[in-house]
Amino acid sequence: MPEIIEALPSYLTIALKVIIILIATTVLERLSTKYLKKYARKVELSPTAENALVTLSRFIIILGGIAALFELGGLPSDWFVGFSALAGTAIGFASTKSIGNFIAGLYVLISRPFNVGDYVRVGDVEGIVEEISINYTKILTPSLNHVLISNQDVMSLRITNFKRKSKDLTCYMLPLEFPRDFQTEKIDKILEEVISEYEEKLPRKPEYAMASLDRLSKRYYIYIYVKDPQQLFSIPSEILRKVALKCDLESNAS
């Protein structure tokens, strides 16, 4: 193939090389777009995030094609790279925060610390992930409010994802605290009575365990297993109320 190209007149050689570059750029762009759209459907990305990924991919591929054409035309690609870097620096100074958030969004989309539909805690915000865009993550909280967290903040905050991938269940840890002098046997009795009420209502019976002990309190976790994360908007508060009522009864009895 290279010998055939060299044997052609110079203008035909250049034209053929231009055509090859254009075809290669087009094919690469189509394959990249097809793969990214398939990936976006697989991880349930929002249309906004999907379009952002596809647009960025096209931009990078087209830049590569333009650099190749510059080289072909006798203009060193170093000049093009330098110009791109200068333009990028200017844009960066103009919108540092926006670009940083965009890059953070790409990181969140690629690393996938959570997916749409997962029950998560991001910093002090807790709820169901409703949307992951290139700029922000939208979370529906138990109070039925929507909280938007910029992806730059998502990267800097502590993330807890309660989804258990292996069994397709969400395991929520409900913290409880009892006075140090409250008898352990009574705590066990109360917790067992409460969680037994949910044995038939949930895909797996809740469990409990002591988390810590100090001179002032005994701390426990109740592990609640659900298939529908929306159940966590009501069940934890129900359990807390039932435990509190039983504790009141035990206190009054003594």
Task: Kindly give the confidence (pLDDT) of every residue in the chain, 254 residues in length, as a single tens digit, with 9 standing for 90 and above.
Answer: 555 444 445 656 667 777 787 788 888 888 888 887 787 777 666 666 666 677 777 777 777 777 777 666 554 555 445 555 555 554 554 455 566 667 777 777 777 888 889 999 999 999 999 988 778 899 999 999 999 998 888 888 999 999 987 668 999 999 999 999 999 999 999 999 999 999 999 999 999 999 999 989 999 999 999 999 999 999 999 999 999 999 998 877 76
* 246 touches 196 (CB < 8 A): no
**Residues 81 and 127 placed together within one structural domain of the fold:** no
Phi, psi for residue 210 in degrees, rounded to 5: -75, 130
Residue at 64 is within a domain = yes
What is the CB neighbour count within 10 angstroms for residue 68?
A: 19
Residue at 192 is within a domain = yes
Residue at 103 is within a domain = no
For the domain that residue 153 is a member of, what is the CATH number? 2.30.30.60
Separation between Cα atoms, residue 58 and residue 65, nearest integer Å: 10
Work out how many domains the chain is built from and give that number: 3
**Residues 7 and 88 placed together within one structural domain of the fold:** yes
For the domain that residue 246 is a member of, what is the CATH number? 3.30.70.100
**Residues 152 and 173 placed together within one structural domain of the fold:** no
Domain that holds residue 147: 113-161
Residue at 233 is within a domain = yes
Residue 124 is encoded by which pair of tokens? Answer: 């002090």
Separation between Cα atoms, residue 22 and residue 28, nearest integer Å: 10
**Residues 153 and 173 placed together within one structural domain of the fold:** no
**Residues 141 and 222 placed together within one structural domain of the fold:** no
For the chain, percent helix, then strand, then coil, each to nearest 5?
A: 55, 25, 20
**Residues 142 and 174 placed together within one structural domain of the fold:** no
Residue 154, amino acid: V
